[in-house]
Structure 1
Amino acid sequence: MRKIVLICAAGMSTSLLVEKMKVAAEKQGYEADIAAYAVAEANEVTKHADIVLLGPQIRFQLAKIKEMASCPVEAIDMTAYGMIDGESIINHVRKVLND
């Protein structure tokens, strides 16, 4: 099971996206634990993640969070985020992780 961590400014705006991603992952038979956190929690939550995805509103912190994490860190595509397109984001995660 993959651990996917989403990080946004307060951990709230990505909650709907998390649910859409869970539905997409289940539909694909992809086992993933997906959760959203506030950027203030990034140092702790990135330690056990397989991939970290940043909300577009905090993409400017990409380099800082990459330094904290020992896994891939990517900013979520703005269009996919805005359209709450869980399927395309799960597909992107699978591509990055070679799943």
Structure 2
Amino acid sequence: MKVLLVCAAGMSTSMLMKKMDAYAAENGIDLEVAARSFSELKDPKADGYDCILIGPQISYQKDKVVKKADGLPVEVIPMKDYGRQNCPAIFELINNLIA
């Protein structure tokens, strides 16, 4: 699966991205994850992403992300899961989006 994380600037989301990579490796999950700031979001569908997760700090941008997503599933990561970097819950969210 190929997941795009969208955030404000990328600091905390890049930490989450590394934790997701480690979790995927430990659990045999085929994952390619990237983090981009909202301002860098161009054409995620053309880049082959399966879904987009938005950091809760920019949840107010969800409608704009949905428009740029061109039909890709988009969801905001719940604040508690984002803050705790709760990979099991985040992967459950991903699975529900792309199922």
Pair in the same fold by TM > 0.5: yes
Question: 1:95 corresponds to which letter in structure 2?
Answer: N
Task: Give unmatched runs, 5+ long, in structure 2.
Answer: none
CA positional deviation for 1:96: 1.8
8 Å Cα contact 1:9/1:38 also seen in 2: yes
* Structure 1 vs Structure 2 CA RMSD: 1.2
How many residues are matched?
Answer: 96
Deviation above 6 Å: which 4+ runs of structure 1? none
Matched residue, 1:25: 24
Q: What is the CA–CA distance in structure 2 between the aligned matches of 1:37 and 1:88, rounded to whole Å?
A: 21
Matched residue, 1:60: 60
CA positional deviation for 1:51: 0.5
Q: Please, what TM-score do these two structures have when normalized by structure 2?
A: 0.88
| SS of the residue 1:71 aligns to | coil
Q: What does residue range 1-99 of structure 1 map to in structure 2 within 5 Å?
A: 2-44=1-43, 46-47=44-45, 48=47, 49-69=49-69, 70-98=71-99
